[in-house]
Amino acid sequence: MLVSQFQAVGRDLCARGLVSSHSGNLSIRLGERLCITHRGSMLGCLAEQDLIETGINRNDRSTPLASTELAVHRAIYKQTAASAIVHAHPACAVALSFSEQEIVPCDVEGKLLLSKVPVLGWGTNVKPGELADEIAEALTVHKIVLVRCHGSFAAGQLLEEAYYYTTTLEESCRLLYLLKTLQIELR
């Protein structure tokens, strides 16, 4: 049952182009532990061996196999009430993160669901696993955040909820990108 949740979201992220073949990661909270995708796993075709269970507060022998973003997932679980996290690399959102310090959707669904999305990591060259505390703190207020030049982190109670925030952000950013390309000013 657990693996099927990861498979459905991973497959959809890949099908929509929100991750490349070996990028992105997913996790869910299991009390004081978490289940996270394996380092370098292919989200589009996950199998049970691609899921790693490890501690939220401490390492164990499975920890080295976990995603390179494990520190971020741990920080989010420690600082928020989230039970699921989706980390993706949505192209339009990442493109806008190069120039915007926050994303303010102009479409109705984006406005209602997300309001605004902070872009973190300005002035730094962020590597996987960095900005963990800053990302977690931002997710106490926002449903999803962007890390400049890298990707998004969405937190929810279910993987499907975090996936919904991710797709909504990308659709909003796609529209913003098109409007900028067409040089249409927003009012």
Closest of 37, 34, 118 to residue 78, by C-alpha: 34
> Are 110 and 139 contacting, i.e. CB atoms less than 8 angstroms apart?
no
> Are 119 and 97 contacting, i.e. CB atoms less than 8 angstroms apart?
yes
Q: What is the pLDDT of residue 130?
A: 83
For domain 2-181, which CATH number applies: 3.40.50.970, 3.40.50.1820, 3.40.225.10, 3.30.365.10?
Answer: 3.40.225.10
Q: Which helix (H) or strand (E) holds 60?
A: none
Query: Token digits for 25?
Result: 């990661």
Per domain, the residue ranges of the chain are 2-181
Average pLDDT along the chain: 95
Overall average pLDDT of the 125-133 stretch: 85
For the entire predicted model, the pTM comes to 0.95
CA distance 88 to 32: 24
pLDDT in tens, 20-39: 999 999 999 999 999 999 99
Query: Token digits for 7?
Result: 């498979």
